[in-house]
Chain A
Amino acid sequence: MTSPRKPAPRLDPVIHPITRLSICGLLASGADWVEFAALRDAIGVSDSVLSKQSRLLEDAGYVEVRKGAVGRRPRTWFRLTPDGQEAFQAHVAWLQQAARVRPEDIAAPATRRGAEPPPPETSRR
């Protein structure tokens, strides 16, 4: 579940690529666990892409994975860890802040009082 305190906006390079942002965003929606197929269909990616990206999030300690089976069919369930939850909230706050920056603000960031410097160039895919 979400922590009561809102973390400071922060770019998280692990969450930044769009597929991993989607995975974290869906897992942070409030569900206890989300199943592999539900996650794949909601994001619209292939099994292999979801496996690879979720493994990276698991390695970073942001996602917990539980494997089980229904009959002979294997089922994989995901959920965000508290670290993942916090990192995601901080990253979304950063994105919201970046989305509010207008092009003219990016051109002259120093002229805006209290404005954050424009975020650095980062790879999204």
Chain B
Amino acid sequence: MSNPAEDAAELEQLRAQRAHLADRLRAPWWYLAGFAVVLALTLAVPIGMHYFGGAGNWSLAALVLWFLLQGALARASGVAVGTRTLRYPSGRAAGIAMMVVVVAALIAEMLLTRHGLVAEAIVVGVLATAVGVGCWQAHLRGIRRDLRTGAEAM
């Protein structure tokens, strides 16, 4: 006979193993620093355009750096979650919040630089970078939660 207690214990053991695996996905300092650079590059585009007339390559550099960071995190942690991280339900709200912060900051910077308020635009960029990194950490926490519970990733 199969032992119900044994079956329940095995499911419990599986939960503990998933928690162990999810904990490996903790973002190291270099990942968060790299992500701050990604956001800073993105948010520097309106200011760069104001000073240099064109800064389209900066956003391309930010995109390449973000892909490299995701690959590096997968190698370091041994857990690859890919680049479509919004499919994790628990991390979705924080991921969308980060995008909203970035888009709002870009619009604000464009308006400020248009009126010659470059210093204020830089402050907005710095603040948005800090808030964006915080949102991304919350996003990663959500992903870890979903890995721990095995929640359906859509």
Q: Which residues of A contact B (CB under 8 A)?
A: 1-2, 18, 21-22, 25-26, 28-39, 41-44, 70, 75, 77, 92, 95-96, 98-103, 106, 118-122, 124
Contacts and interface: CB of A to CB of B under 8 A. Distances in A.
Given A28-B150, A75-B75, A96-B11, 11 more contacts: A2-B153, A21-B14, A22-B13, A30-B146, A38-B21, A38-B24, A43-B17, A100-B4, A119-B2, A121-B2, A124-B6
Listed residue (B10, B87, B147) with the most chain A CB atoms within 10 angstroms of its CB = B10
Contact of A30 (B4, B8, B151): B151
Listed residue (B6, B21, B81) with the most chain A CB atoms within 10 angstroms of its CB = B21
Interface residue range, chain B: 35 or more
A58 B146 CA distance: 25
A29 B22 contact: yes
A102 B1 CA distance: 12
B146 to A, nearest CB: 5
B14 A25 contact: yes
A122 B2 contact: yes
Contacts of B154: 1
B35 interface: no
